[in-house]
A and B are shown apart, each in its own frame.
Chain A
Amino acid sequence: EKTKEGFLGKIARAVAGKSTVDAEVLDNLEEALVSADVGIETTVAIIERIEARVARDKYINTSELNGILQNEIENILVDAPADTTYSNFDLPAGKKPFVLMVVGVNGVGKTTTIGKLAHHFTQAGKKVMLGAADTFRAAAVDQLTIWSDRAGVPIVKREMGSDPASVAFDAVNSAVAKDIDVLIIDTAGRLHTKTHLMEELSKIKRVIQKVIPDAPHDVLLVLDGSTGQNAIEQAKHFTAATDVTGLVITKLDGTAKGGVVLAIAHQFKIPVKFIGVGERVEDLLVFDKHEFADSLFNLKK
């Protein structure tokens, strides 16, 4: 467990001995945000808004700053539209099977997140199925199979090297036939710069739509919480290929802060839905804006 010094504590230290917000306070704030991977552009945007407030209100004391900052950050973090939220692992009505496609660059935690989602949906009483459309990475299907066993859910798979779109097609058909509530499709990790691999994702999506025209109902882009500014490019290209509808940030049990999602939310308005905090089935949390803003300033030395 991380020591939670918390938002207020950090700001309090950043402005120790000061009663009003001045340039030095703003510099410290900049350092805190940039060190959490928020990136310069978004950090500057936040600081400019605070500067404007300071200029307008003439006097802002540091405890007001806490509130304003928390507010600014939470405003940047968009909410998911009602038809793709499942805060208690409930599912929107009239979408059965609910098809969830999971995408992202290599090694970010897609397969693990799917195992955790399967577990949580199962716990919430849903009938879950997995589709093993990563037929490329060594032992990817074996890995997902182990997760399906852990979560106690069925998996649709074919041999390695099969066409991933065909696996997805099989999985959707099977989910329809078996009255499944939620089908989660794993895809191979791919760098967003590889055009042919990104096109493969669009193809998987089109094939799913042959069976269920409004599917996939949710496309989750998984981001590694320790990734820096490159995550912005990832969001841009995966969105272009698959209309990403939500983000998952993994590995937040480490010391990285995942602040780049703030930049992504700022630029692309994509909501963060879950965070990964470990390697066990339970280690998935529904994203909480307030706690996230808090943890951004929980700098560990």
Chain B
Amino acid sequence: MFQNLSERLESAFKNIKGEGRITELNIAATVKDIRRALVDADVNYKIAKEFTDTVKDKAIGSKVLLAVNPGQQMVKIVQDELAELMGGTEAELDIKGSPAVILIAGLQGSGKTTFSGKLANYLKTKKGKSPLLAAADIYRPAAIDQLTVLGGQIGVDVYSERENKDAVAIAQNAIKEAKAKNKNVVIIDTAGRLAIDEVLMTEVANIRNAVTPNEILFVVDSMTGQDAVNTAKAFNDRLDFTGVVLTKLDGDTRGGAALSIKYTVNKPIKFVSSGEKMDTLDVFYPDRMAQRILGMGDITSLVEKA
């Protein structure tokens, strides 16, 4: 297996601390290593290239701190840039309106239904809202049962129509139901779909047009590889989503998809999901994610101490 980035940097730069300035020459190998580390973390190949090139250009000429070597400093610069790129556009969840409507979409198995439950739980317990979950997945076996079980766990009502095969109508009816029952947020869980499935992409676009959501959240598995870019772009083209949710971050994935997606569609990452239980929902910390993608938290502290 590839040596990890920090080990490689240690050995490559053992003897050249305080070398003056970062130059094309003294960081060429580091840039290559960083690029590989990003790709190993599942950052899209082209994006890794573009990103490291841009950061390199910015870094060249900067003065190297005495206690570190140019390579380590370069990594620190990359880490900061990564965090900045993935953060920014700090946006609160829009839950204004009566009811506010939140549409959940994404690929099969990415964690939409689980996240819908978690979000309802969060809005109920942390934001004092009274949410309604809407079961608009008419395809997956037992999708309604799954959402109903989750709703039961968190004490949130679930709107469903077992015989109705029209997801758009179900979503619309759920909003009527919310109005009638004084619920102020409707979270619409939809079926998983492939970005190239025309019929299903049209269906979700139709739901969007019918219910004009405050938020459209694209739920993506943080273990996704190179294809994250294609999928995010395709969903964004059809839905113009308002935010991204990264799931399954409780594992050991490096999560490069987060960078690829932000870089491609420039939509904020609004939540991270890290567990199967209903209370495992977090806000997104760009700096932690940057460290995770690079696979090295230690460099920062090293450089910060210098």
Q: Is A254 an interface residue (CB 8 A)?
A: yes
Q: Is A255 an interface residue (CB 8 A)?
A: yes
Q: Which residue of B lies closest to A160 (CB)?
A: B149
Interface residue total, chain A, C-beta cutoff 8 A: 46
Q: Is B141 an interface residue (CB 8 A)?
A: yes
Q: Is B250 an interface residue (CB 8 A)?
A: yes
| Pairwise interchain contact A40-B39, C-beta atoms closer than 8 A | yes
| Pairwise interchain contact A41-B221, C-beta atoms closer than 8 A | no
Which secondary structure dominates where chain A touches chain B? loop
Total cross-chain contacts (CB, 8 A): 140
Contacts of A254 in B (CB 8 A): 107, 194-196, 227, 231
Q: Contacts A230-B251, A254-B107; is A146 near B225 (CB within 8 Å)?
A: no
Per the bound structure, the CA–CA distance linking A75 and B295 in Å amounts to 32
| Pairwise interchain contact A41-B225, C-beta atoms closer than 8 A | no
Q: Is A84 an interface residue (CB 8 A)?
A: no
Q: Is B51 an interface residue (CB 8 A)?
A: no
- Stretch in A8-16, A28-36, A59-67, A239-247 touching the partner: A28-36
Q: Contacts A227-B223, A227-B225; is A105 near B248 (CB within 8 Å)?
A: yes
Contacts of A231 in B (CB 8 A): 223
Q: Is B252 an interface residue (CB 8 A)?
A: yes
Q: Is A124 an interface residue (CB 8 A)?
A: no
Per the bound structure, the CA–CA distance linking A37 and B43 in Å amounts to 10
| Pairwise interchain contact A39-B40, C-beta atoms closer than 8 A | yes
Q: Is A97 an interface residue (CB 8 A)?
A: no
Q: Is B56 an interface residue (CB 8 A)?
A: no
Contacts of B109 in A (CB 8 A): 106-109, 224, 251
Contacts of A37 in B (CB 8 A): 42, 225-227
Contact of A226 among B1, B113, B140, B231 (CB under 8 A): B231
Q: Is A95 an interface residue (CB 8 A)?
A: no
Contacts of B250 in A (CB 8 A): 191, 193-194
Q: Which of A75-109 contact B (CB under 8 A)?
A: 105-109
Per the bound structure, the CA–CA distance linking A227 and B252 in Å amounts to 13
Digit string of A207-222 for contact with B (CB within 8 Å is 1, else 0)? Answer: 0000000000000000
Contact of A256 among B36, B146, B225, B254 (CB under 8 A): B225
Q: Contacts A41-B2, A143-B141; is A226 near B195 (CB within 8 Å)?
A: no
Q: How far is the CB of B114 from chain A (nearest CB, A)?
A: 8
Q: How far is the CB of A240 from chain B (nearest CB, A)?
A: 14
Q: How far is the CB of A189 from chain B (nearest CB, A)?
A: 8
| Pairwise interchain contact B226-A279, C-beta atoms closer than 8 A | no
Q: Which residue of B lies closest to A232 (CB)?
A: B1
What are 13 pairs between A and B in contact, CB < 8 Å?
A37-B227, A40-B2, A40-B40, A107-B108, A107-B248, A137-B276, A143-B141, A143-B146, A226-B224, A226-B225, A226-B227, A254-B231, A255-B231
Q: Which residues of A come within 8 Å of B, CB atoms?
A: 2, 31, 34-37, 39-41, 105-109, 115, 136-139, 142-143, 145-147, 150, 191-194, 224, 226-231, 233, 251, 253-257, 260, 279, 300
